[in-house]
Amino acid sequence: MQITGRTRVRRLPARGSNEWADICAILDAAFLAHVGFVVDGQPFVIPTLFGRQEETLYLHGSAASRMLRELEQGIPACVTVTLVDGLVLARSAFHHSMNYRSVVAFGTARKIQEDSAKEEALRVVSEQVIAGRWNDVRLPTAKELKATTVLAFEIQEASAKVRTGPPKDDAEDYALDIWAGVVPMAVQRDHAIPDPLLPAGMPLPAYIK
């Protein structure tokens, strides 16, 4: 994977990495990405679920999706993923921050045509969102596959950036009588709520527990 000025971290470079293992660790911990692209000079950024397989991110949606119709033409795109780990509260307003893990990836997408390949890509996305679900559901019909566009976004270059730890205040501010520290944050799965139309007593699948 190449590294150019687009993915070389210039602002606080000590927080940045172009190591593929660091990038994969963040991508694999997430399932929501934001896809940026430009149409006729107008920028768009669209949130979407994704799944990763090697250096490919799979994106999917309705065949009528403008984002997918534009991306399948091979236009340059940017996919970003961010995980917020905490709010960093400093003694000064200026030094407030957040602890986070993020990836910025550049590349182009291609449309997957074959039904078997589309189904496999959808499996990858499903497993990234909740592992084990794909083997428990009715698989897409030919009609459903036709109504779904699936793209393979090939990562050409990417960078990761991470902030951890406590606030970093100016030396003279440490004497101020102001609380400072980190408020941890995380996306957390809560107790599952069954569909009211489920038969009574249906057990919760182990992968949801």
Query: Mean pLDDT score of the chain, rounded to an integer?
Result: 94
Mean pLDDT over 161-189 rounds to: 96
Residue 15: its pLDDT value, please? 75
Mean pLDDT over 161-172 rounds to: 96
Q: Read off the pLDDT of residues 195-205 as tens digits, 9 standing for 90 and up.
A: 999 999 899 99
Residue 50's contacts (CB-CB under 8 Å, 6 or more residues apart) are 31, 32, 33, 57, 58, 59, 79, 81, 125, 128, 153
Write down the pTM of the prediction. 0.91
Pick the range with the lowest mean pLDDT from 13-22, 116-125, 133-142, 170-179. Answer: 13-22
Residue 192: its pLDDT value, please? 94
Pick the range with the lowest mean pLDDT from 7-11, 93-97, 152-156, 178-182. Answer: 7-11
Look at residue 9 and tell me whether its pLDDT is greater than 70. Answer: no
Look at residue 12 and tell me whether its pLDDT is greater than 90. Answer: no
How many residues in total does the chain contain?
209
CA triple 20-119-64, angle to 5 deg: 95
Look at residue 10 and tell me whether its pLDDT is greater than 80. Answer: no
CATH assignment of 13-165, given 2.30.110.10, 1.10.3720.10, 3.40.50.2000, 2.40.160.210?
2.30.110.10
Q: Read off the pLDDT of residues 29-58 as tens digits, 9 standing for 90 and up.
A: 999 999 999 999 999 999 999 999 999 999
The percentage of residues in the chain with a pLDDT greater than 90, rounded to a whole number, is: 88
Residue 11: its pLDDT value, please? 67
Tell me the domain boundaries of the chain.
13-165
Mean pLDDT over 171-195 rounds to: 95
Q: Read off the pLDDT of residues 88-147 as tens digits, 9 standing for 90 and up.
A: 999 999 999 999 999 999 999 999 999 999 999 999 999 999 999 999 999 999 999 999
Residue 16: its pLDDT value, please? 75
Query: Which tokens sit at 85?
Result: 């780990």
